[in-house]
Structure 1
Amino acid sequence: MRLTIDTETDTYEQAIAAVQAAYGLRPVVPAGWPEAAAVDPRPDPQDLSSDDIGDGWSDQVLFRMVASLMPGARAVLRRIAGVGGTASYDEVQQYFADHQADPIPPTKIGGTLTSVQAVQRRVGPAGAGRLLQRDERGRLYRIDRTLVEGLTRAFAMADARPDLLRGEPVGRVT
């Protein structure tokens, strides 16, 4: 939630009323205070299309896939989709080795991406081909073009609703 109070134009009463309204309290609105603008509802994964875009995949299924991935695998999948759906092993390794916020050592990329297949078996459409295909001979990662477009929409929803994404695993309690 973001609340902005202009200390030069808003009165103390208006500021208090804005804070109360933000927390769902029913404040007494000061006389002469304009009506608050209508709040846009939060986007929801159900807003995404459930129509098949190829091989049983839909925007909603792709979002569930993205939301279920570990953050590292999600970042790598986003990168591959972001460069058009085809990237070399070396390009992906180098990008994440030098990544400022979330570096992944080159030796760990393959292990990071094993969760993509595991998550697909759990939340992906039955009998669908692999979302992320690996060409060992050409050393390429590839995602079908129609699925790249769906992933772009799924990542946009993920950006709007990060509260729905799987986070880092919690350490074991002994």
Structure 2
Amino acid sequence: MTKRKWIVITAVFFILFIFISFYRYQLVNSEYSNYKVTERNVKLGETFNLQKISHTFKKAKKVNTVDEMRNKVTEYRIPIELKNTSNTKLAFHPEFYRMMRGEEETQTIDFIDNKTGSRISDLKPRQSINATVTFTFLNRGENKYQPLVLHMIGSDGVSVQKFNVKVY
């Protein structure tokens, strides 16, 4: 084969590869083509709904303490009212809650029911719970003077909702 035929064959395969890749991209991402992200800033004491759960956050309590590894840490204990607004039992997803202090991020899986002292894993239909959520930060770095913002992200499959609450 001549050099010209190799160039033509390579170009045809390259163009074919691009068209197949474009088709595959469209096929995989077609269900997300109408995806919409809405972001909302929420004040303390304001009630809002995220994934059929009504949330009301109150002012955090700041507690300086020492953890089990003898690190100086600051715990932020946030009182919260949760209410299932639906007629079905809902699983509670604490992984949707992230606390940011400057560039530093922390996550918790402990939403504690104030009445029973147990972790919240689900909410019965129309159930209302007063709870406390605790986020812990190490006392080091320049971020320790930054404001705390709680980010909650949920999705219904078509849109993404992000709520920001300045906690402390």
TM-score (norm 1): 0.23
Greater per-residue strand proportion: 2
TM-score (norm 2): 0.23
